[in-house]
C-alpha cells in the first residue's frame, strides 16, 4: 500500500499488527462484496460481529470493558484500512468507537459503562449518535429537541436527522436541551415514544444506514443521562471521530490512486501506455504528493493525541485537508480511467460519491475553515 515516506516503519509492533489485521479484514470481507451492498443500498450486517471480534469497534477502549486498549495511532490506522474498503464501513466503526463508546466511557456512570460498553465493543449492540436536526446541522447549539425531568425519568421530544446507523441501533446517544443546556441521554431501542425511519434516495454512502430519529414523549430512565452539560459534550466526541475520518479519507484516496496508477500503466493509447504521458504523470504525482502530506498530518496528530497535547483545531485542519484532497484524488483518478472510470468494476465513483458525504458530515469543509480562521485571527466568523 502507498507509503512513500515509509511512515509505517515508525509504527510499533502493535500498530503494525493493527494495520495488517484491518487490511486483511477489508481485503477478505469488504472488497469482495461492497459493490453489491452499495448498489442495493444496504449495510453488510454480517461484518459487524467480525469487526467486533477483531477489536475494530472499540480500539482505544480499556480491556476491562472488552476493548482493544490501543493508542490513537492504532485507531487511525484501522480507520484508514477500513475506508480503503468503503466509507460506510469506516463510518460504522467511527460511530461505534468515537461517538457512542467514547461518550459513555467519558461521561457515563459505572452502571452505564458496565451495561453498554462490553456489548458495543463486541458488536452485539449497535450504537448511533443523534446531534443533527432537520433545521440545525452546522449550528447544533440551536437544537430544538428537549428533555424535561419527571419522577419517572426524562421525557424527550423532538427529531434528529441524518443519523448513521439510526434505524439499526440498539443504543442511541441523543443530545437534547435540558433546562436550556445541551445534555446527553442514552436511549435504548424499543422504548415507547422512540421511532426511527431509514432515509432513502442517497447517491452517497449507499452502503451505510442513515436515519431519522423521532422522540414523541419518549420516557428515558433517570439513570440514562450522561454526566456532561453544554455543547462541549457532543463536540468532544466529534474531535475523536474527525481524527479517525482524517485517516479514513486517506484510505479512500489510496484506493483511487492505486487503481489509477495500475490502469495508467496498462492502458495503451497512441501506441504507448497512458502512464507515459506527462499530463497523466502530473495527476499521479499530485495524488502521491497530497496523500503523503495527508499521511504525515494524521500520523503526527495521532502522536499528539497519544500524548494528550492535541488541540481540536489541529483535528479540524486534518479532517478538512484530508477529505478535500481525497475527493480531488477520486476525481483525478476517474479522469485517468476515462470512460472506464464510471464503471462499478472500479471503486472510484463509489469513493467519490462517498467522500461528498464525508466532506459534509462531522463539520463541513467550510465550517472547519471558520474554526481554523477563528483560531488564527481570534475573530469568530460564524455569525
Ligand atoms: P462555540 O461557542 O464555539 O462552543 C460551544 C462550547 O463548546 C466548546 N467547544 C468544544 N469543545 C470540545 N471540542 C471542540 N471541538 C469544541 N469546539 C467548541 C466551546 O469551548 C464551548 O464550551 P463552553 O464550555 O464555553 O460552553 O460553539 P458555536 O455554537 O459557535 O458552534 C460552533 C461549532 C463548533 C458547533 C461548529 O463550528 C461546528 O463544529 N459545527 C459542526 C457540527 C458537526 O460537526 N456536526 C456533526 C454531527 S455528527 C456527524 O456528522 C456524524 S457522521 C458519522 C459517520 O457516519 O462517520
Ligand atoms: P447546513 O448546516 O445547513 O449547511 C449548509 C451549507 O451552509 C454548508 O455548505 C455549510 O458549510 C454552510 N454554512 C453553514 N453555516 C455557515 C456559516 N456560519 N458560514 C459559512 N457557511 C456556512 N449527524 C449526526 O448527528 N449523527 C450522524 O450520525 C450523522 N451522520 C451523517 C451521515 C451522512 C451520510 C450525512 C450526509 C450527514 C450525517 N450527519 C450526522 C449530519 C451532518 O453532520 C450534517 O449534515 C453536517 O453537520 C452539516 O449540516 P447540514 O447538512 O444541516 O448543513
| pLDDT at site 102 | 98
Q: What is the pLDDT of residues 205-214, one digit of tens each?
A: 999 999 999 9
| pLDDT at site 45 | 98
| pLDDT at site 356 | 98
> Could you tell me if residue 382 is inside a domain?
no
CA–CA separation, 159 and 155 (whole Å): 13
* Ligand 1 mutation pick, 83, 206, 232, 382, max ligand atoms within 8 A of CB: 232
Q: Ligand 2 centre and the CA of 90: distance in Å?
A: 19
Ligand 2, atom 8: closest residue by C-alpha: 364
Give the mean pLDDT of the chain. Answer: 98
* Ligand 1 mutation pick, 167, 181, 231, 374, max ligand atoms within 8 A of CB: 231
Domain end position, chosen among 197, 228, 259: 228
Band of the pLDDT at 143, cuts 50, 70, 90?
very high
Task: Name every residue whose Cβ is closer than 8 Å to that of residue 277 and which is 6 or more positions away in sequence.
Answer: none
- Across the range 99-112, mean pLDDT stands at 98
Task: Name every residue whose Cβ is closer than 8 Å to that of residue 95 and which is 6 or more positions away in sequence.
Answer: 127, 128, 129, 164, 165, 241
Q: Is there a single domain that holds both residue 248 and residue 191? A: no
Q: Is there a single domain that holds both residue 368 and residue 295? A: yes
Domain end position, chosen among 228, 251, 279: 228
| pLDDT at site 382 | 86
Q: What is the pLDDT of residues 365-382, one digit of tens each?
A: 999 999 999 999 999 998
* Ligand 2 mutation pick, 135, 160, 162, max ligand atoms within 8 A of CB: 162
Q: Ligand 2 centre and the CA of 369: distance in Å?
A: 14
CA–CA separation, 231 and 61 (whole Å): 23
Alpha helices (runs of H) in the chain, residue ranges in sequence order? 13-25, 34-40, 47-53, 72-85, 87-94, 102-107, 110-122, 232-266, 278-306, 312-336, 348-360, 365-377
| pLDDT at site 87 | 98
The tally of domains found in the chain comes to 3
Q: What is the pLDDT of residues 7-47, one digit of tens each?
A: 999 999 999 999 999 999 999 999 999 999 999 999 999 99
- Across the range 287-313, mean pLDDT stands at 98
Task: Considering the candidates 133, 212, 290, 362, report the single residue annotated as catalytic.
Answer: 362
CA–CA separation, 185 and 95 (whole Å): 16
Check pocket membership of 27 for ligand 2, CB cut-off 6 A.
no
Residue 53 has pLDDT above 80, yes or no: yes
Range of the structural domain that residue 333 is part of:
232-377
> Could you tell me if residue 337 is inside a domain?
yes
Band of the pLDDT at 51, cuts 50, 70, 90?
very high
| pLDDT at site 383 | 77
Check pocket membership of 216 for ligand 2, CB cut-off 6 A.
no
Query: Model pTM?
Result: 0.98
**With 0-12 CB in 10 A as exposed, 13-18 as middle and 19+ as buried, what is 136?**
middle
Q: Is there a single domain that holds both residue 96 and residue 211? A: no
> Could you tell me if residue 330 is inside a domain?
yes
Q: Is there a single domain that holds both residue 238 and residue 351? A: yes
Q: Is there a single domain that holds both residue 371 and residue 238? A: yes
Residue 307 has pLDDT above 90, yes or no: yes
Closest ligand to Cα 141: 1
CA–CA separation, 206 and 359 (whole Å): 15
> Could you tell me if residue 274 is inside a domain?
yes
Across-strand partners of 218? 156
Q: What is the DSSP string of 88-100?
A: HHHHHHHIIIIII
Answer whether 89's CB lies under 8 Å from 82's CB.
yes
CA–CA separation, 271 and 351 (whole Å): 31
Check pocket membership of 288 for ligand 2, CB cut-off 6 A.
no
Check pocket membership of 235 for ligand 1, CB cut-off 6 A.
yes
- Which residue reads 453498554 in cell numbers? 116
> Could you tell me if residue 383 is inside a domain?
no
Q: Is there a single domain that holds both residue 265 and residue 220? A: no
Q: Is there a single domain that holds both residue 213 and residue 93? A: no
> Could you tell me if residue 1 is inside a domain?
no
362 is catalytic: yes
Amino acid at each position: 500500500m502507498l507509503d512513500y515516506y515509509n511512515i509505517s516503519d515508525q509504527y510499533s509492533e502493535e500498530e503494525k499488527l493493527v494495520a495488517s489485521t484491518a487490511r486483511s479484514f477489508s481485503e477478505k470481507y469488504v472488497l469482495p462484496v461492497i459493490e453489491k451492498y452499495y448498489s442495493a443500498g444496504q449495510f453488510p450486517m454480517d461484518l459487524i460481529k467480525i469487526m467486533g471480534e477483531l477489536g475494530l469497534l472499540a480500539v482505544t477502549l480499556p480491556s476491562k470493558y472488552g476493548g482493544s486498549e490501543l493508542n490513537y495511532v492504532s485507531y487511525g490506522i484501522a480507520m484508514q484500512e477500513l475506508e480503503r474498503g468503503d466509507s460506510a464501513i469506516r463510518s460504522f466503526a467511527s460511530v461505534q468507537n468515537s461517538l457512542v463508546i467514547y461518550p459513555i466511557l467519558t461521561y457515563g456512570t459505572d452502571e452505564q459503562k458496565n451495561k453498554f460498553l462490553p456489548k458495543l465493543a463486541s458488536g452485539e449492540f449497535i450504537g448511533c449518535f443523534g446531534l443533527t436536526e432537520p433545521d440545525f446541522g452546522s449550528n447544533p447549539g440551536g437544537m430544538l429537541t428537549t428533555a424535561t425531568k419527571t419522577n419517572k425519568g426524562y421525557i424527550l421530544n423532538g427529531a434528529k436527522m441524518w443519523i448513521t446507523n439510526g434505524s439499526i441501533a440498539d443504543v442511541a446517544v441523543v443530545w437534547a436541551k435540558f433546562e436550556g443546556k445541551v445534555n446527553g441521554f442514552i436511549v435504548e431501542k424499543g422504548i415507547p415514544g422512540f421511532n426511527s425511519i431509514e432515509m432513502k434516495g442517497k447517491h452517497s454512502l449507499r452502503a451505510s444506514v442513515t436515519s431519522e430519529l423521532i422522540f414523541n414523549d419518549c420516557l428515558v430512565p433517570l439513570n440514562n443521562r450522561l454526566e456532561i452539560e453544554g455543547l462541549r459534550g457532543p463536540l468532544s466526541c466529534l474531535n475523536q471521530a474527525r481524527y479517525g475520518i482524517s485517516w479514513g479519507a486517506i484510505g479512500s484516496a489510496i484506493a483511487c490512486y492505486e487503481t489509477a496508477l495500475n490502469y495508467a500503466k496498462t492502458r495503451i493509447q497512441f501506441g504507448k501506455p497512458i502512464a507515459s504521458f506527462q499530463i497523466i504523470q502530473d495527476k499521479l504525482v499530485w495524488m502521491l504528493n497530497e496523500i503523503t502530506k495527508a499521511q504525515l498530518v494524521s500520523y503526527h496528530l495521532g502522536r499528539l493525541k497519544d500524548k494528550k497535547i492535541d488541540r481540536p483545531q489541529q483535528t479540524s485542519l486534518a479532517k478538512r485537508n484530508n477529505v478535500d484532497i481525497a475527493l480531488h484524488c477520486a476525481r483525478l483518478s476517474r479522469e485517468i480511467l476515462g470512460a472506464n472510470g464510471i464503471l462499478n468494476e472500479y471503486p472510484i465513483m463509489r469513493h467519490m460519491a462517498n467522500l461528498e458525504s464525508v466532506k459534509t458530515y462531522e463539520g463541513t469543509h467550510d465550517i472547519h475553515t471558520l474554526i481554523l480562521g477563528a483560531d488564527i485571527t481570534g475573530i469568530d466568523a460564524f455569525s
